[in-house]
Structure 1
Amino acid sequence: MKFWKLALASAAIAWLSSTVSLAAKTALVLGIVLEPPHLDPTAGAAAAIDEIVYANIFEGLTRIGPKGDVLPALAESWTKSDDGKVYTFKLHRDVKFHDGTSFGADDVKFSLDRARDGKSTNAQKGLFAAIDKVEIVDPLTVKVSLKQPSGDFLYNMGWGDAVIVAPESAELNKQTPIGTGPFRFDSWAKGSQIVIAKNPVYWGTPALLDKATFRVIPDPAAATAALLAGDVQAFPVFPSYETIPQFQADPRFKVVIGTTEGETVLGMNNKKPPFDNLKVRQAIAHAIDRKTLIDGAMFGLGTPIGSFFPPHHPSYVDLTSETNYDPQLAKKLLAEAGHADGFKTTLKLPPPTYARRGGEIIAAELREIGIEAEIIPVEWAQWLDQVFKNRDYDLTIVSHTEPNDLNIFARDDDYYFNYDNLAFKELVKQIDAVSDGSKRTELYKQAQKVLANDVPAAFLFQLPKTGIWDAKVEGLWENGPIQANDLTAVK
């Protein structure tokens, strides 16, 4: 009798163990550094929004894949007119939003017209500037006519800012997002975590996970402890660079160092004295030692950049020599600008490690040429409000992780750099209108040189994607071609 009890107990324990193991594979806890201000990617610039909802909750006509390629999404196919000005999208049928309403051509027209409307709060309205009109051909066919050919149009439609929303729920998406994706919104404990759950009636290939929890852990030491304790199974962008070797030596974890679209810059308010003076901006750029910055703030991870362009792009030009580290030249330029004795300024730093640690290093380097930069730490919501929205700042450090975003320097009327250069704006227009690869490359190179010479910001380094996760987890992206944690193939 005792033998059978023991056997039954052992069997029960084994069953329970396998059940727990199985359950563990259907749920995933991911660490994120920044909590998003809300969850509507069509109404905010914060990368933290897309890091949760892109491809998971919301979908666009197209989507950006893990290699940066344009893939079909809600549009199963499309055709382009010979003159490159008309795109006709054929939509997937039997697609429903998470609230049960049906998706169709009317939702596409609503979303694109809403995004490009003059009253739109979309942070990337430039993505839709080329659109002349959107027409419904039939319930599953949409025709989009452009004002002029746009080589980036299909790519632009894959951004998080271009996802398709429904008129019935669009105004509620900030707190209770409703999309068409493989996951639906479950809950949000402010300051702690956001939970998404598998969409049981998804139109496409179902997600392999039943649930994913995005846990907000801004502190690098806490991020390390959470991974080691198993409280978090994955940190797609791990913030504690100095502990990466520890995880590389631990067989329980997989460490993947990839690339991102994140150009990290020392932003300057170009319309605020003394930063409206080119020589002052040049002096600041020459005062920064990129190697010291990357070693000190990033523990050697990161690639120096001399303009606003990713080094992995085929059209990249290495222009770091244009603003090489030269403190004596920096002092000379300051004197020529009328600031031989330097000046006082402020440096607002958001929470990411690269900003807080990098800010300390840059402030020390600026002090060497006579510029006293008072460091002002701000939370992410404060940065978005004060710096990005209201342009209330002198200097700041941030990484721009949006893809193909050279054109932000052509947005003097609504972008925080306050940079205004007609020649650069013309180059951006030409780039957008050209689809020939060699011509675009030449224009991209010209645009990079304009920014390197005009120094609207001090270009620092390309942010690496420092991914660490449980060795058993599969399907997370190695690189970051877009600001996303696409969980559609994760198991």
Structure 2
Amino acid sequence: MRGVSKTVWAAVVIVVVIVLAAAALLMQKPTPPPAPTPKYADTITIGTTDKISDLDPAMAYDFFTWEVFNNVMEGPFKYKPGTTDLEKGIITDYQVQEGGKVYILKLRTDLKFADGSPCNANTLKWSIERVARINGDPAWFVTDLVDKVDVIDDYTLKITLKSPLSFFPAILAVPTYFPIPPDKYPADKVSSDNTAGGVGPYRIVKFVRDQQLVLEANPYYYGTPPKTKTVVIKFYKDATTLRLALESGEIDIAWKTLNPTDINSLKTKPGIKVWEGPGSFIRYIVFNTKIPPFDNKLVRQALAAALDRNSIAQKVFLGTVDPLYSLIPNGMWGHIDAFKDKYGEANLDLAKQLLRQAGYSESNKLKVELWYTPSHYGDTEADVAALIKEAWEKTGMVEVTVKSAEWSTYLDLTRKGQLAVTLYGWYPDYMDPDDYTFPFLHTGSNRWLGNPYSDPEMDKMLEQAEVEPDQSKRVDLYKNIQIKLADDAPIVPIFQGKLYVASKDTVGGIVLDPLMLLRYYLIYKQVGS
């Protein structure tokens, strides 16, 4: 091979030197500074028109109080935020034995209450059995389902059911199975203003009924600490005051319940964000079939036929809710439009026919006393009651008197069976058709509504649907349950809603899902960087 000239070699060396020098300069180029770390507020303030009923899982059976429980307590299972999937809570493992009749729960060994005292299997057993002893509104989750509870060792609990239950892990996610400290709660009576809490991410540091609830991060919580150290919940008398509190900066989040007009208005306000999520809450009318004349099925059927759901959905809620024709919500497996199939919509001719069969006429009108509560379900409730009255009175054979009572009084009168016709709503305890039927229609399980209905045939179908492992067979059972519900008409569905939350646009971490519980521990507010 012929040799390379010295000139060429020199050129190559020069090029290499230049390349190396350029690379060195690039390597010396300063690294861009890291992005600033967001700063979050220590406190977030949430406003609501809702109210706390009883700070005691043995008695409370309402959406908002359960929401508080899910932030200051925890049970064997919980729902993964943003989904309907269950995940382990205070347990590390579990076993299902004897074909679904026995559940063995292995508890975490690092569980502590808000005061630092330990929580173990004995504590959980005591808490569950206390629910049964007190026999309050949600007691059926225990009394109807559980045969006995045994402690195997300090951190192992055995729950034996009366019969196999395919969805029992979902039941173990409701507050009746949340452990509470035995030295803070009385063993055999309700403690409505108790602030001891449980083993959840927050603890209660202040509670002034119907005014304010203050939570702070529980230093003994086993899991990830809350995003925000302190959560202040303020209670407002109506939706207008709630909206103004958000606009003025008094609160960071307006949650349950804003008026439809407020929701639309806030969507256009700078600095405010409106969050929308799927809704599985339902609204309905309850007839106490023990109180005449509502012990007459013809009367209940007539009022069911005359109801104008579309008018309520459009005039009161501006289309933010959907008419509902079953207690099982639209979109859930097993749902059928049972009431629409039987009665149609605003069917005045059928209503008149049924009223005449029941002995009423234009000169002998059916007298109805319709009760509602003015703030628990939002300011729209009076308008809902007014449109129901209007629909029924269009028959010319019904005279309606509308009355109202504040939530605590309303609950008390209902529980005592003193109100014949009431308006109520339901937020899911667990995601299964059973949750929308059994607590309403099964004898004794509807004690929270004053035991308004009892039927052996219905009881039998509900019990069969609970234990049947084949979902296709459960679908058939729930179809028959809904058909019988529409025929008996002790409870008449009105509409199904959506979830709306309004907040400052600096707020994040709000998760809305079908369970419809606001998880305070995920929420944060950015204040700078």
TM over 0.5: yes
Cα distance in structure 1, aligned partners of 2:180 and 2:266: 40
Q: How far does residue 417 in structure 1 lie from its aligned partner after superposition? A: 5.2
Q: Which residue, 304, 327, 331 being the options, matches 2:348? A: 327
SS in 2 for 1:444: helix
C-alpha contact 1:95 1:180 (8 A) present in aligned 2? yes
Task: Choose 1 or 2 for highest CA Rg.
Answer: 2
C-alpha contact 2:50 2:257 (8 A) present in aligned 1? no
Cα distance in structure 2, aligned partners of 1:480 and 1:253: 23
Q: Could you say which residue in structure 2 is the equivalent of 1:405?
A: 436
Cα distance in structure 1, aligned partners of 2:46 and 2:473: 42
Q: How far does residue 354 in structure 1 lie from its aligned partner after superposition? A: 4.2
Letter in 2 for 1:43: M
Q: Could you say which residue in structure 2 is the equivalent of 1:169?
A: 184
Q: Could you say which residue in structure 1 is the equivalent of 2:256?
A: 237
Q: Which residue, 131, 134, 137 being the options, matches 2:146? A: 131
What do residues 113-172 of structure 1 show as CA deviations (whole Å, max 9, x unaligned)? 22233x432524244522222121211111112222111211111112321112111235
Q: Could you say which residue in structure 2 is the equivalent of 1:371?
A: 398
Q: Note if 1:361 corresponds to 2:356.
A: no
Letter in 2 for 1:321: D
Q: How far does residue 182 in structure 1 lie from its aligned partner after superposition? A: 0.7
Seq. identity, %: 25
Q: Could you say which residue in structure 2 is the equivalent of 1:113?
A: 129
Q: Which residue, 293, 296, 304 being the options, matches 2:315? A: 296
C-alpha contact 1:417 1:456 (8 A) present in aligned 2? no
Cα distance in structure 2, aligned partners of 1:327 and 1:416: 30
Q: Could you say which residue in structure 1 is the equivalent of 2:410?
A: 383
Q: Which residue, 434, 442, 445 being the options, matches 2:479? A: 445
Greater displacement, 315-324 / 409-418: 409-418
Q: How far does residue 251 in structure 1 lie from its aligned partner after superposition? A: 4.5
Q: Note if 1:261 corresponds to 2:280.
A: yes
Q: How far does residue 439 in structure 1 lie from its aligned partner after superposition? A: 2.2
Unaligned residue ranges in structure 2 (runs of 5+): 1-35, 430-434, 525-529
Letter in 2 for 1:249: T
Q: Could you say which residue in structure 2 is the equivalent of 1:467?
A: 501
C-alpha contact 1:115 1:122 (8 A) present in aligned 2? no
Unaligned residue ranges in structure 1 (runs of 5+): 1-17
Task: Tell me the TM-score normalized by structure 2.
Answer: 0.84
Cα distance in structure 1, aligned partners of 2:421 and 2:119: 44
Letter in 1 for 2:93: S
Q: Could you say which residue in structure 2 is the equivalent of 1:488?
A: 521
Q: How far does residue 423 in structure 1 lie from its aligned partner after superposition? A: 1.4
Q: Could you say which residue in structure 2 is the equivalent of 1:14?
A: none
C-alpha contact 2:288 2:419 (8 A) present in aligned 1? yes
Q: Note if 1:318 corresponds to 2:333.
A: no
C-alpha contact 1:399 1:463 (8 A) present in aligned 2? no
Q: Note if 1:426 corresponds to 2:460.
A: yes
C-alpha contact 2:298 2:355 (8 A) present in aligned 1? yes
Q: How far does residue 325 in structure 1 lie from its aligned partner after superposition? A: 1.4
C-alpha contact 2:303 2:351 (8 A) present in aligned 1? yes
Q: How far does residue 336 in structure 1 lie from its aligned partner after superposition? A: 0.7
Q: How far does residue 275 in structure 1 lie from its aligned partner after superposition? A: 0.9
C-alpha contact 1:70 1:155 (8 A) present in aligned 2? yes
Cα distance in structure 2, aligned partners of 1:173 and 1:40: 6
Q: How far does residue 472 in structure 1 lie from its aligned partner after superposition? A: 2.5
Q: Please report the RMSD computed on the Cα atoms of aligned residues, expressed in angstroms.
A: 2.1
